[in-house]
């Protein structure tokens, strides 16, 4: 069965001031694909994810989502369709875990408080953090924060999830808990683009692996 093409990058180049980050990048992501991007630190992997999510602008080329140039899609719509999980977690420190999870459901999805709470508690139970629902981010371990950040993105039900070095700041035990959650996401046929240094992990979960090197992207 042919899988539906969901994202295409066509001759995409990105510069920062006078520095070339990447040039003429082409790749296609299909529904249910897991694609990993590897490369040295600072080579532009995270920048590429941000460009897909429009947290950064490209200098030339085009990024197409479901056949539409992302520049033609309203930002609030695009970011519901393409979720991103940062290595820094980006949780709101002044909100509890449950408040972090329900905020976008209420404000953006316009769900009721009761519906939002039920969905958030269901996903917390799934990731074994229901007992942390009333804790604040600074009361959580790094691995717990990252699982909450992933859960927050999952709740929005995006068509693509971008994972930017999801384990880079974690120790071995915490790393395992996050990698196991991502493995579950893969089993559920989610569409993922993963930037990671975890070579063994990406080899096990990826349909395709690309390397960003010398300003170009090539399939390994």
C-alpha to C-alpha distance for 122 and 118, rounded to whole angstroms: 6
Q: Is residue 100 part of a domain?
A: no
Q: Is residue 99 part of a domain?
A: no
The domain containing residue 85 runs over which residues? 5-94+158-219
Q: Is residue 21 part of a domain?
A: yes
Identify the CA nearest to 93 among candidates 132, 143, 151, 145.
145
Q: Is residue 150 part of a domain?
A: no
The pLDDT, as a whole number, for residue 8 is 96
What's 39's domain CATH number? 3.40.50.300
Q: Is residue 147 part of a domain?
A: no
Q: Which regions in the chain score pLDDT beneath 70?
A: 1
DSSP letter (8 states) at residue 4: P
Q: Is residue 138 part of a domain?
A: no
Q: Is residue 59 part of a domain?
A: yes
Instruction: Give the predicted TM-score (pTM) of the model.
Output: 0.90
The pLDDT, as a whole number, for residue 155 is 92
* φ, ψ of residue 120 in degrees (nearest 5): -65, -40
**How many domains does the chain contain in total?**
1
Question: What is the widest separation between alpha-carbon atoms in the chain?
Answer: 51
The pLDDT, as a whole number, for residue 1 is 60
Q: Is residue 118 part of a domain?
A: no
């Amino acid at each position: 069965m042919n899988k539906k093409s969901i994202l295409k990058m066509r001759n995409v180049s990105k510069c920062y001031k006078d520095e070339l980050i990447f040039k003429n990048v082409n790749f296609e992501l299909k529904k249910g694909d897991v694609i990993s991007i590897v490369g040295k630190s600072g080579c532009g992997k995270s920048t590429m994810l941000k460009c897909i999510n429009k947290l950064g602008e490209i200098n030339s080329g085009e990024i197409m989502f479901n056949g539409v140039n992302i520049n033609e899609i309203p930002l609030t719509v695009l970011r519901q369709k393409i979720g991103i999980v940062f290595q820094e977690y980006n949780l709101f420190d002044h909100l509890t875990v449950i408040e972090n999870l329900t905020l976008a459901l209420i404000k953006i999805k316009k769900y009721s408080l009761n519906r939002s709470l039920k969905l958030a508690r269901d996903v917390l139970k799934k990731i074994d953090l229901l007992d942390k629902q009333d804790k604040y981010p600074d009361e959580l371990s790094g691995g717990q924060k990252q699982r909450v950040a992933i859960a927050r993105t999952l709740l929005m039900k995006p068509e693509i999830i971008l994972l930017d070095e999801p384990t880079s700041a974690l120790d071995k035990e915490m790393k395992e808990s996050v990698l196991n959650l991502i493995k579950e996401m893969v089993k559920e046929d989610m569409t993922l683009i993963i930037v990671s240094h975890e070579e063994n992990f990406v080899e096990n979960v990826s349909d395709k692996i690309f390397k960003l090197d010398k300003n170009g992207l090539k399939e390994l």
